[in-house]
Structure 1
Amino acid sequence: MNSLKDKVAVIFAASGEIAGAVARSLAQHGAIVYVTALNLDAVKTLAEEINTNGGIAKAAKVDALNETEIDNYLQKVVAENGKLDMVFNGIGSYYKDAGSGTPTTVVTFEQFMNPLQRICGSQFLTSRVAAKYMIQTGSEGTILLLTASMAKTKTPNMAGFASACAAIEALTRVMAAEFGQYGIKSICLCSGALLETKKIQGMIHDFAELSGISEQEMTKRYTMHDILKAKPTLKQLGETAAFLVSENGIAFNSHVIDFDCGKLNVL
C-alpha cells in the first residue's frame, strides 16, 4: 500500500465527496496530501481523519477559481517539499446553477456558461499552475482532471454541463501534448453518476418530483443503460485515481478513463 510513498499531492475542492475519496486513497498509498477548499472546516475534518488513520494530510482554504490563491498555495507546497507530484481538482457545480434539466431554448446564457467557467475554468487554472511548478522543479508528475460521462451521451436539457465536460476532455489532451516533453502526464477521470453521493441523490429527488414519478423509478432511469449489475463506488474511484497517478499507471496519458462499469449509452 506504499505505491505513492513520499509523493506530494494537492487536492482542490476537497470538501466534495469525490475529491475527499481521492485524498483518502492517495494518503492510504503513502502520499503526503494537501487538501484545500473554500470550506476550511470541511477539509480540516478530512485532514484529521486521514492523519488519524495513519496518513499525512494538511488542510488549507484555497479558492480553486482564484489563480493568485492557487499559485501562492502551490508555491508554498513546493517550498516545503521541493516538488509537486500530483494534482486533482474535484470542483463541481450545483445543477440548477448550471441549467441542468432545463431545455436549451429556455436555459439562460449565464446558466449555460456557469459550468464552462466554473468547472472547466477551474480545471484549467489548477492544472496550468501545477504544470508550471512541475516544470520548474523537474517533477515528472501527474495532472488528474475530473469530468462526467455527459460529454459522451445524448442527454437532453444538459447543454452547459455537457459542453463543459467535453471541454475538459479536450483540455486534457492538449495539456498531455504540451507537458509530455517534461515527463508530466495529463489524465481525465470520467465518472458516471455515483448513486451514493449527496449530489446525485439530491438530483434524483428533485427530478423525480418534477417528473411526477417515484425516486425509485428515477433511479432506474439513471441505471437503465448499465452493462454490469455492479455499481461504482467512491472508494473504488479513489483507488482508481491512486493507480493512475502511480508508476503502475504510466501507460495512461492523454486518456479519458471511464469510471462507470460500462454504459450502453456512453460512446
Structure 2
Amino acid sequence: MESLKDKVAVVFAASGEIAGAVARSFAQHGAKVYVTALNLNAVKALAEEIKANGGRAEAGKVDALNETEIDTYLQKVIADNGKLDIVFNGIGSYYKDAGSGTPTTIATFEQFMNPLQRICGSQFLTSRVAARYMIQSGSEGTILLLNASMARTKTPNMAGFASACAAIEGLTRVMAAEFGRHGIKAICICSGALMETNKISGMINDFAEKFGISREEMALNYTRFDILKSGPTLKQLGETAAFLVSENGVVFNSHVVDFDCGKLNLL
C-alpha cells in the first residue's frame, strides 16, 4: 500500500530507534525519505537499508539543535523536489542528563532545563523552519512531533522530562492553529514505553541497580498499568506515524495521539 506515494519526508535524529522505524515505514508506504542525524554513518546505513528494500532514501548530517543546519538542509530538499510534505523529529535525551529518577529537590536547574532545551527546543526548531518552507513552496504538509506519556502521568522524580513532554503538546496545538490557514497540519504522537528499545532496557537495568531490586520488578513499573497483555512496538509506531501523515490522518490535526495500547493511569 502506497499511502505516501510521491510524498517528500525529512526525518531528523534518524539514527535513533524510533525515528529509524518511522523512516522505514514512510519509505515502505511510498515516500522519498531524507534521513538525517549527527551520526552520518548511522543514517547512511539506514538509507542503504531502505533502498535495499525497494524504498527511496538519502542521508545527511544535520544537528537538529542547530537552526542554520536545519534551514540549509531543508532548503536543499525544497530545491531538489519543489516541496516538503512531511517532517518528523525523533530526538531524545539521555535520562541522566535530564535528571530522570532524581527527586525534584535534588535535581539541578541544568538537569531540569536539559530536556526542555534539547527535546522541546529541537521540535520547535525543526517544526518552524519546516513550516516556513512549506508556506513558501505551497506544500500543504504535515509536521509530526513526538513526546512521551510522561506528560500526563503522575510519576515522581521526572520534573524536567515531564515538563518537556507537556510543552511539546502545547507547541503542537499552537502550531496547528497558526499554520492551518496554509493547509499545514501539526500532530503529536505521545508514546508509551517501547520495551524493545535499548533506551528503555538501559533505564530498567540502571534503575534496578540503583534501587536494589530485580530487573523484572523494575520492568513492572513500565507495564503494571497496561490494559492489554502486550504493549506497543517500534513497527507499530512507524505504521501509526505513516497513517497520521497520510491523507486519512488529517482528521487528527492538532491532536496528541496516545500510542500505548491503553493505560489505566493516563489522564
- TM-score of the aligned structures, taking structure 1 as reference length: 1.00
**Which residue pairs with 1:220 in the alignment?**
220
**Which residue pairs with 1:68 in the alignment?**
68
User: How far, CA to CA, are the matches of 2:21 and 2:156 in structure 1?
Assistant: 30
Alignment-mate amino acid for residue 46 of structure 2: L
Q: Counterparts of 1:50-69 in structure 2 under 5 Å?
A: 50-69=50-69
How far does residue 220 in structure 1 lie from its aligned partner after superposition? 1.2
How far does residue 199 in structure 1 lie from its aligned partner after superposition? 0.2
**Which residue pairs with 2:28 in the alignment?**
28
**Which residue pairs with 1:129 in the alignment?**
129
User: How far, CA to CA, are the matches of 1:231 and 1:224 in structure 2?
Assistant: 11
Alignment-mate amino acid for residue 86 of structure 1: I
**Which residue pairs with 2:83 in the alignment?**
83
Alignment-mate amino acid for residue 234 of structure 2: L
Partner SS state of residue 35, structure 2: strand
User: How far, CA to CA, are the matches of 2:218 and 2:11 in structure 1?
Assistant: 32
**Which residue pairs with 1:100 in the alignment?**
100
**Which residue pairs with 1:11 in the alignment?**
11
**Which residue pairs with 2:191 in the alignment?**
191
Partner SS state of residue 188, structure 2: strand
How far does residue 239 in structure 1 lie from its aligned partner after superposition? 0.1
Partner SS state of residue 74, structure 1: helix
User: How far, CA to CA, are the matches of 2:201 and 2:12 in structure 1?
Assistant: 23
Q: Which residues of structure 2 form unaligned runs of 5+?
A: none
Partner SS state of residue 19, structure 1: helix
Cα RMSD between the aligned structures?
0.4
- TM-score of the aligned structures, taking structure 2 as reference length: 1.00
Aligned length: 267
Partner SS state of residue 144, structure 2: strand
User: How far, CA to CA, are the matches of 1:201 and 1:259 in structure 2?
Assistant: 19
**Which residue pairs with 2:248 in the alignment?**
248
Kindly report structure 1 stretches of 4+ aligned residues shifted beyond 3 Å.
none
How far does residue 134 in structure 1 lie from its aligned partner after superposition? 0.4
**Which residue pairs with 2:45 in the alignment?**
45
Partner SS state of residue 188, structure 1: strand
**Which residue pairs with 1:262 in the alignment?**
262
Q: C-alpha offsets along residues 3-61 of structure 1, whole Å, 9 cap, x if unaligned?
A: 10110000000000000000000000000000000000000000000000000000000
Partner SS state of residue 76, structure 2: helix
Partner SS state of residue 165, structure 2: helix
Identity of aligned residues (%): 83
How far does residue 248 in structure 1 lie from its aligned partner after superposition? 1.2
Alignment-mate amino acid for residue 237 of structure 2: L
How far does residue 74 in structure 1 lie from its aligned partner after superposition? 0.1
